[in-house]
Chain A
């Protein structure tokens, strides 16, 4: 198993550009989520999904869109990048079994918005 994979590892954008961060998992997990981590801070939840076709907002959803068309993939779209979105982005996945779920995290995407 590759686990949770994220692409790209690094990205530099100009203000106003759009892009999609990719996340995939090969563990057949139902639950997937996106977090951002700003320097010196903990992770904050952006969006999450409990299965294909079902998504909801987390703590900091503004400026981001998600969709979940398959169990494996959960892309995060930045509609119009802003410097405030400079951060490290982590994707995570977990089983949906009785609510006691170990979450598996990807290696992260480091995004800089100029």
Chain B
């Protein structure tokens, strides 16, 4: 089974620039999550999709972050404009259904904002 694919692997941008991350979950996984992990901390949930609908985006800073999953498969996470404190690893995960199963994580995108 192919894993969760994320790209790019690394990204360095200047503050106030825009950036987008892409995630392709495991085939058939209806639930997709985006997490932000700041160095030395645990992952923090940004947004959860069930198919192409948003289940939880309560911790997503909506003034600068947006995410979509138009066809219920791939997802993109965008930051516009970026701030220094957005420097983190952005992890995408998917699961077969919202509860009762483990999550499969991608390798993440390491973002550095300078």
Are A and B associated in one complex?
no
B positions within 8 Å CB-CB of A: none
